[in-house]
Structure 1
Amino acid sequence: MDFSGKVVVITGASSGIGAACAAAFAQHSAALVLVGRNRPNLERVAQQCRELAGGEPLVICADVSVDADVERIVTDTVDKHGRIDVLVNNAGITSVGGLGGGVAALDAVMATNTRAPYLLAGLALPHLARSRGNVVNVSSCLSTKPNTMLMPYCMSKAALDMFTKCLALEAGPQGVRVNAVNPGPVRTEIFRRAGVSAADNERLYAGLEGALPLGRVADAAEVADLVVYLASARARSVTGACYPIDCGLLLGENTTI
């Protein structure tokens, strides 16, 4: 797979799956636009990409839940590169709790996980149509597997899956493909950032490893490989698909997260 001359925008690129996507696309010679809220982490990821491929990523410190920041992502990218070929909507947050947590938690999660990809894809679509590019949304297997303690997150990812399918229908006639990857448990910092202690986080992953059919959880690089495939010409006939990568989580009722 070769992304030479292709401009790839990755949100949430400062850590976890986003950082792994940045490294993977760098290895395939993409011109990278790295978006995140944590500038020091973004700069570290950018340096890793330079060491891998020698290119110079465009680093954009932005909060995708802020409309003006989303608009700036597109403007800065087009000002520098003149095009957008791939949009990876990866930025995401979670909130631990159910209905009793109140509506503020839902609003915050939906703003980042659902509204931001909707707005960013809409602004990027004219550029993607010109390049006959594509969108890859990073969703979750919890879009279809309910969890009462992650209710807002589950809702946001279910909405993201439907957005993926609807946008694939709308953008297909313009030559733009839209797909999603739906990871199960992946060792990232998402639960730690939601307030889970280091010890509880480790117990969570250890319990998942014992419960999942494959006896392991995925790492971020594996998810990135699937993102790169869907963004590549090898997947040129794939659109409107939501691909699970979950170590078997969705196979049985005895596996929970």
Structure 2
Amino acid sequence: MLTLRDKVCIITGASSGIGQTTAVLFSTLGSKLVLNGRNEKNLAETVQLCENKNNIVQIVGDLTDSQIQRLILKICVEKFGRIDVLVNNAGILQNGGIENLKMEDYENLMNVNVKSVISLTQLCLPYLIESKGSVVNVSSVAGSRSFPNVLAYCMSKAALDQFTKCVALEVADKGVRVNSVNPGVIITNIHKRAGHDEEQYKQFLEHCKNTHALGRPGTANEVANTIAFLASDNASFITGELVHVDGGRHAMTPR
């Protein structure tokens, strides 16, 4: 039976989408949680959806801020005394290809999707080594497959995939596991934040019937379940793995 009982887990990007759903699931599985997100109202809503609220700490702030990163670590260790699991979920999507890519947008996307992950993982690593814990990075099918007009996003997720595999090898002898989930299109607000209006988003989801082998987009709960498995002791012999939760999209070669 899957359990995360008494595991101290940090989840970034917990104020919406996959991060929020993962936080709620982890709470039902017995985790002690440190949740980070930029939206104070939405992060509070996440906490309200969770069980065992006395074992939850919320930290509002932009993860690209090194002070927020250090605050997450400080509060987690002061409150719970350890770190067992780090879920690097915070991320943004930016549309645009090589002809219209603005370097300031590229730098912002890489700062959120890659640099903040590296920095927070470095900070947490001594505690993860002590607990022989695990890291789960939330990547994308866009890290392992190429798509037009999301250039910087694809590059950031490809970097995150290499980070996952390289760090997994570096810390394996210390008993720390590092894996990623690579979702396909998941029904969250990320695409609307990237600029899709209601009609565009509706058409986008309809198109998923053709781009995903299972004929539909996925749900945040389907990704959260995989994150929970990788974070649990049930996955004790899995590291350096990129688990596609994408309805078979990564395996398709459309003709």
Normalised TM-score (structure 1): 0.95
Question: Can you list the C-alpha shifts for 1:60-116, whole angstroms capped at 9, x where unaligned?
Answer: 102111111111111111111111100000000011101222211211111011111
Take 1:209 and 1:46, find their aligned partners in 2: how far apart are those partners? 34
Instruction: Assess if the C-alpha contact under 8 Å between 1:49 and 1:55 holds in 2.
Output: no
Take 2:237 and 2:211, find their aligned partners in 1: how far apart are those partners? 35
Q: Which residue of 2 aligns with 1:78?
A: 77
Q: Which residue of 1 aligns with 2:36?
A: 35
| CA shift for structure 1 position 164 | 0.4
Take 2:172 and 2:216, find their aligned partners in 1: how far apart are those partners? 36
Take 2:211 and 2:32, find their aligned partners in 1: how far apart are those partners? 40
| CA shift for structure 1 position 244 | 0.5
| CA shift for structure 1 position 212 | 2.1
What SS is found at the alignment partner of 1:187? coil
| CA shift for structure 1 position 149 | 0.8
Take 2:104 and 2:246, find their aligned partners in 1: how far apart are those partners? 29
Q: How does 1:230-249 map to 2 (within 5 A)?
A: 230-249=230-249
Instruction: Assess if the C-alpha contact under 8 Å between 1:182 and 1:242 holds in 2.
Output: yes
What is the alpha-carbon root mean square deviation over aligned residues? Answer: 1.3
Instruction: Assess if the C-alpha contact under 8 Å between 2:141 and 2:244 holds in 1.
Output: yes
Q: Which residue of 1 aligns with 2:224?
A: 224
What SS is found at the alignment partner of 2:19? helix
Instruction: Assess if the C-alpha contact under 8 Å between 2:35 and 2:57 holds in 1.
Output: yes
Question: Can you list the C-alpha shifts for 1:176-208, whole angstroms capped at 9, x where unaligned?
Answer: 100000000100111111122122112111111
Once superposed, which parts of structure 1, at least 4 consecutive aligned residues long, lie more than 3 Å away?
53-56
Structure 2: gaps (5+ residues): none
What SS is found at the alignment partner of 2:50? helix
Take 2:109 and 2:130, find their aligned partners in 1: how far apart are those partners? 32
Instruction: Assess if the C-alpha contact under 8 Å between 2:35 and 2:59 holds in 1.
Output: yes
Instruction: Assess if the C-alpha contact under 8 Å between 1:11 and 1:91 holds in 2.
Output: yes
Return the letter of the residue paired with 1:191.
Answer: H
Q: How does 1:130-169 map to 2 (within 5 A)?
A: 130-169=130-169
Return the letter of the residue paired with 2:88.
Answer: N
Question: Can you list the C-alpha shifts for 1:22-71, whole angstroms capped at 9, x where unaligned?
Answer: 11111111001111000110111101103xx4543100102111111111
Instruction: Assess if the C-alpha contact under 8 Å between 2:143 and 2:161 holds in 1.
Output: yes
Take 1:233 and 1:13, find their aligned partners in 2: how far apart are those partners? 22
Return the letter of the residue paired with 2:76.
Answer: T
Instruction: Assess if the C-alpha contact under 8 Å between 1:62 and 1:73 holds in 2.
Output: no
Return the letter of the residue paired with 1:113.
Answer: N
Q: How does 1:162-181 map to 2 (within 5 A)?
A: 162-181=162-181
Take 1:254 and 1:205, find their aligned partners in 2: how far apart are those partners? 17
Is 1:93 matched with 2:99?
A: no
Return the letter of the residue paired with 1:83.
Answer: R
Q: Which residue of 2 aligns with 1:49?
A: 50
Q: Percent identity?
A: 40
Take 2:115 and 2:229, find their aligned partners in 1: how far apart are those partners? 25
Instruction: Assess if the C-alpha contact under 8 Å between 2:114 and 2:160 holds in 1.
Output: yes
What SS is found at the alignment partner of 1:185? coil
| CA shift for structure 1 position 2 | 2.3
Q: How does 1:103-114 map to 2 (within 5 A)?
A: 103-114=103-114
Take 1:94 and 1:80, find their aligned partners in 2: how far apart are those partners? 33
| CA shift for structure 1 position 254 | 2.2
Q: Which residue of 1 aligns with 2:193?
A: 193
Take 2:206 and 2:59, find their aligned partners in 1: how far apart are those partners? 35
Normalised TM-score (structure 2): 0.96
Q: Number of matched residues?
A: 253
What SS is found at the alignment partner of 1:25? helix
Take 2:128 and 2:175, find their aligned partners in 1: how far apart are those partners? 9
Instruction: Assess if the C-alpha contact under 8 Å between 1:136 and 1:181 holds in 2.
Output: yes
Structure 1: gaps (5+ residues): none
